[in-house]
Amino acid sequence: MTDRSPMVNPSAPPPPSYVQATPTATTSLNNPTVAGSNPGDAPPPYTPTPPSYSYSHILPESGQNYQRFETTANNQVEVVALCRVGPEPFQVLCPNCRQLVTTVTHPRAGTLTFLSAGLCFLFCFICTLVPFCIEDLQDVEHRCPNCNFHLGTYTRL
């Protein structure tokens, strides 16, 4: 069995103490310097930079189901709402008629509907049209009940 203890050279000098290893700093109001350095070697004074603001954590990514409404009037762009569109009706201020309404939902055949129909076609030809009758497999379209304005679409896939 070998000894795994570190080899110590008895003739080596001991390491410096903490006080010896750290330089002492002398400061003045105009020129902070470290003892033993030249005044020309001092770092430049600290100038804080204003923070840059990013709204990427608030805005949705391209794959998320959010709907953004923008209307233009008198050469001004006004953002009316940024809301998550889901399968259930929700209250929203319609950007077209400017009324607070609860959306009317209509199921529409989407990607998931057609994929399900394709699987049914492979396994049971007779059941191919069944996914078009199941609302949980279809996309949901939201419209304003007053003016029938399209407010958004919830896609299942």
Closest C-alpha among 129, 149, 132, 133 to residue 141: 149
Is residue 18's pLDDT more than 80?
Answer: no
Neighbours of 16 (CB within 10 A): 9
User: Is 137 in contact with 93 (CB distance < 8 Å)?
Assistant: no
Torsion of CA 109, 131, 66, 83, to 10 degrees: 100
Cα separation, 147 vs 99, in Å, equals 10
Q: Does the pLDDT at position 114 exceed 60?
A: yes
Asked whether the predicted pLDDT for residue 25 surpasses 70, the reply is no
User: Within the chain, where are the H helices?
Assistant: 18-21, 111-123
Q: Could you give the strand order of the β-sheet that contains 104-108, starting from the edge strand earlier in sequence?
A: 104-108, 139-143, 150-154
For 32-83, the pLDDT digits (tens) are 545 445 656 677 777 777 766 555 444 445 445 555 555 555 655 555 555 6
Q: Give yes or no for a contact between 142 and 89, defined as CB atoms under 8 angstroms apart.
A: yes
CB 108 within 8 A of CB 153: yes
Alpha carbon 81 to its chain centroid, in Å, reads 18
Name every residue whose Cβ is closer than 8 Å to that of residue 95 and which is 6 or more positions away in sequence: 69, 70, 71, 80, 81, 149
**Cα 69 from Cα 72, distance rounded (Å):** 10
| Cβ contacts of 105 within 8 Å, gap of 6 or more | 87, 88, 89, 140, 141, 142, 143
**pLDDT value at position 147?**
94
Domain ranges for the chain: 67-154
